Structure 1
Amino acid sequence: MSDTKWLNESEMAAWMAYVAATHLLERRIEEQLKADSGLTHAQYEILAKLSQQPGGRVRMTELANRLIVSKSGLTYQIGQLERMGLVTREACPSDERGVLAVLTEKGVRCLERTAPGHVAVVRAFLIDRLTPEEVETMRQIMTKATAAMEAAPTGPPRARRPGKSPE
């Protein structure tokens, strides 16, 4: 037997509620995006992040870090967005090895058309269901969880084995 600290009934209920809510919200977001623009949630997030950058452009490596995705996953999604005419790639003027992702005018228009529906889904199924205090508590909880994951070494934490000290 291991000395795993199993979730108690309350913790398990909280975890299962979180999992169900995030999966269901993701499904609703995907449905809305597909209906409004044919985009996936990942593609929408790329457009949204690019729109927040000066000139709608940012280095691919920086964009991957901001989106918390792999470079190869981002490259694939950027390729899809390029085929749709929503994004282009340009050489980085300050580093010949660097590549910039650039939001096109068509990408801006797509985002402007799609964003209101996206916000409506997030409001209807999450934000408007909470009090302002609960929204703040949620922000604090997710900020704390994000900080813990960003500070931890990559890979899953290991369960302790009997008779072994933690690594």
Structure 2
Amino acid sequence: MPDSPPSLDPVQLGAYFALVEVTSLLRHAVEQQLKEAGDLSYVQFQLLARLGDSPTGSHRMTDLADGVVYSRSGLTYQVGLLEKAGLVERAPSADDERSVTVTITDAGRTLLAAVLPGHVEVVSGLLFEPLSRDDVHRLADLLAPVRDHMRAAPPRSAAPRRRKA
């Protein structure tokens, strides 16, 4: 008799389905809020938020792609849309002429500031409101090692490029 395929036990399966459903519901609500408040896609918001959170307001394109777990070609397209809207600027990297650096503009910061309160409201209301403060700490403690484990062998689009010496 052949070996049976690997399976998840009922608790694992329930946890997996709950995580997928929570993620899908939260992402849908966030995407809807971002579209209504700023005509932004989820990825565009992630890019602006990462740039806005950076002390310099800038990141290399490859680092942005790695951080938001998005294909490099897809990221190039999204950054192009943001650049066309005047929300970011692209320029050759000062330390590596093969790299491109993206910088958030004042208009990008203004839009980010406009959509951020609604974003926080959606995330807080849907994800954190039903949880106690201790639950939130436990959730963060549970998700951090999973994220780190997944980042240890990320999909190609999220894998850092090897740098030549």
Q: TM-score range by the shorter chain?
A: 0.7 to 0.9
Which is higher, the Rg of structure 1 or of structure 2? 1
Range that drifts further, 12-21 or 98-107: 12-21
Distance 1:64 1:153 in 2: 12
1:159 aligned partner = none
1:136-147 matches, within 5 Å, as: 136-147=137-148
Instruction: Sort the Cα spacing of 1:2 and 1:75 in 2 relative to 1 into closer, same or farther, 3 A.
Output: farther
1:41 aligned partner = 42
1:164 aligned partner = none
Q: Are 1:6 and 2:1 counterparts?
A: no
Distance 2:40 2:89 in 1: 16
Distance 2:153 2:144 in 1: 14
Which string of whole-angstrom CA distances, capped at 9 and with x for unpartnered residues, describes residues 11-50 of structure 1? 2222111111110111100110011000011100000000
1:135 aligned partner = 136
Instruction: Sort the Cα spacing of 1:18 and 1:112 in 2 relative to 1 into closer, same or farther, 3 A.
Output: same
2:91 aligned partner = 90
1:1-167 matches, within 5 Å, as: 1-152=2-153, 154=155
For structure 1, the 5+ residue unaligned runs are 156-167
Q: Equivalent residue of 1:114, what SS? A: helix
Which string of whole-angstrom CA distances, capped at 9 and with x for unpartnered residues, describes residues 50-88 of structure 1? 011123111111222222222212111101111211111
TM-score where L is the length of structure 1: 0.86
Distance 2:20 2:95 in 1: 43
For structure 2, the 5+ residue unaligned runs are 157-165
Q: Equivalent residue of 1:89, what SS? A: strand
Task: Let me know the Cα RMSD of the aligned residues.
Answer: 1.6
The count of residues paired between Structure 1 and Structure 2 equals 155
Q: CA deviation at 1:154?
A: 5.0
